[in-house]
Structure 1
Amino acid sequence: MSKNLVSFLIAVVFLTGCQGNVKPTQKSQPVPKIQSQQAAPKQVSASKPAASAAVLTQQAKKVVKTPTAFERITLNLIAMGEEALAEERLLTPVDDNANLYFQAALGRDPGNFRASQGISAIVDIYTQWAWKAAQSKDYAKSAQYLEYARSVNPEDPSITEMSSRIKSQRGNTNRNSNTQSVKKALKEGQYLLPSNLFSLSEKEILANIQPIIDNVAKTQQSINIYWPNDKEARLLYQIINSRVTEFRVRAMTYNRADNMVELQQD
Structure 2
Amino acid sequence: MSKNRILILILVLFMTGCQQNVKTSAEKPPIPEKKQDNVVAVSAGVDDKSTVQDVVTTSSPAQSVEKTLTTSEQLTQHLIEKGEGALAAERLLTPVEDNANLYFQAALGRDPGNYRAILGISTIVDVYTQWAWESALRREYARSSRYMDSAKSVNPEDPTIEEMTSRISDLQKRRAQVAKVSKKQSSQPSSKEAPKPLTEGQYLLPKTLFSMTEDEIISHIQPIIDKVAQADRPLAIYWPNDKEARLIYQIINSRVTEFRVRAMTYHRADYMVELQQD
Is the shorter-chain TM-score for this pair beyond 0.5, marking a shared fold? yes
Amino acid at match of 1:32: S
Mapping for residues 105-120 of structure 1, pairs under 5 Å = 105-120=107-122
* Sequence identity percentage: 39
Taking structure 1 as reference, are residues 80 and 206 closer, same or farther at Cα in structure 2, changes over 3 Å only? farther
- Corresponding residue to 1:203 among 232, 243, 247: 243
Once residues 125 and 91 of structure 1 are traced to their aligned partners in structure 2, the CA distance between those partners, rounded to angstroms, is: 12
Mark the runs of 5 or more structure 1 residues left unpaired by the alignment.
1-21, 195-199, 212-234, 248-266
Task: Give the TM-score, by structure 1 length.
Answer: 0.58
The answer on whether the counterparts of 2:242 and 2:267 sit within 8 Å (CA) in structure 1 is: no
The answer on whether the counterparts of 2:241 and 2:267 sit within 8 Å (CA) in structure 1 is: no
What is the CA distance between 1:93 and its match in structure 2?
A: 0.7
Partner of 1:131: 133
Partner of 2:181: 179
Mark the runs of 5 or more structure 2 residues left unpaired by the alignment.
1-14, 41-54, 190-194, 196-203, 210-239, 252-265
Partner of 1:32: 25
- Corresponding residue to 1:142 among 141, 144, 151: 144
Task: Give the TM-score, by structure 2 length.
Answer: 0.56
Taking structure 1 as reference, are residues 24 and 70 closer, same or farther at Cα in structure 2, changes over 3 Å only? same
The answer on whether the counterparts of 1:78 and 1:114 sit within 8 Å (CA) in structure 2 is: yes
What is the CA distance between 1:122 and its match in structure 2?
A: 0.6
Once residues 209 and 116 of structure 1 are traced to their aligned partners in structure 2, the CA distance between those partners, rounded to angstroms, is: 59
Mapping for residues 216-255 of structure 1, pairs under 5 Å = 237=268, 246=276
Once residues 180 and 209 of structure 1 are traced to their aligned partners in structure 2, the CA distance between those partners, rounded to angstroms, is: 26
Question: SS at the partner of 1:31?
Answer: helix
Taking structure 1 as reference, are residues 163 and 56 closer, same or farther at Cα in structure 2, changes over 3 Å only? same
Say yes or no: does 1:52 pair with 2:54: no
What is the CA distance between 1:52 and its match in structure 2?
A: 2.9
Taking structure 1 as reference, are residues 52 and 206 closer, same or farther at Cα in structure 2, changes over 3 Å only? same
Deviations 1:203-225 (A, max 9, x none): 247558999xxxxxxxxxxxxxx
What is the CA distance between 1:27 and its match in structure 2?
A: 4.5
What is the CA distance between 1:51 and its match in structure 2?
A: 4.6
What is the CA distance between 1:42 and its match in structure 2?
A: 7.2
The answer on whether the counterparts of 2:181 and 2:208 sit within 8 Å (CA) in structure 1 is: no
Q: How many residues align?
A: 193
What is the CA distance between 1:114 and its match in structure 2?
A: 0.8
Question: SS at the partner of 2:163?
Answer: helix
Partner of 2:6: none
Partner of 1:3: none
Taking structure 1 as reference, are residues 71 and 190 closer, same or farther at Cα in structure 2, changes over 3 Å only? same
Amino acid at match of 2:58: S
Partner of 1:75: 77
Root-mean-square deviation (CA, aligned residues, Å) is 4.3
